[in-house]
Amino acid sequence: MKIDFNKNLDGLVPAIIQDATTKNVLMLGYMNQEAFEKTKETQKVTFFSRSKQRLWTKGEESGNFLNLVDIQVDCDNDTLLVTVNPVGPTCHKGTDTCWAEENVQGYGFLSTLEGIIESRKNDQENPDSYVASLFRKGINKIAQKVGEEAVETIIEAKDDDESLFQNESADLLFHYLILLQAKGYTLDDIAQVLEKRH
């Protein structure tokens, strides 16, 4: 791994800190050669603090360490991507990230869709929405819909119409998310089961 610590006059390179599990960016710090070597040696992320003008291991006072998982160097050899398992909040203000975001697993639009389904589950203002009506009909109807969509997906998988297959797959996933909500679970719960199996 070749890192160009001499590209800047101060000998520092940016180190982007990313949670190894959630993939969320937690903070940005700076490393010099000594901080980089200490990070590898101790497996705890260490920076060069520009304000203190010394090496600083994240968590040395708070106990909120950043346990090293991996370090990658960018294409110009002057920026580090450091993946970590954080212990506690990362920011000195007590938040999960330095952007005051919650460090939770996200699945892009699927997480947004989960939130919409959850909000419609007990929606008094739109009781006639499709999702609300499914929840009112109960677990048997929801499970039946998942089964129907699974069969339709299988049928389309055997044909050559990609658009129909994608649409049936979307219907299956949508109804599966409803089923998870009805059972009190989330995508994250299922992802954890898969991760344990892995």
DSSP symbol at 181: H
pLDDT number for residue 48 = 95
CA distance 64 to 131: 42
- Convert the pLDDT of each residue in 114-137 to its tens digit: 999 998 887 767 778 899 999 999
CB atoms within 10 A of CB 196: 7
Q: Region 40-53: what's the mean pLDDT?
A: 95
pLDDT number for residue 5 = 85
DSSP symbol at 123: -
Lowest mean pLDDT segment, chosen from 51-55, 145-149, 177-181: 51-55
CA distance 126 to 97: 36
pLDDT of residue 183 exceeding 70: yes
Domain boundary among 38, 54, 86: 86
User: Do 113 and 191 fall into the same domain?
Assistant: yes
Pairing, β 66-73 against β 80-86? antiparallel
CATH code (residue 171): 1.10.287.1080
Structural domain that includes position 129? 109-196
pLDDT number for residue 124 = 67
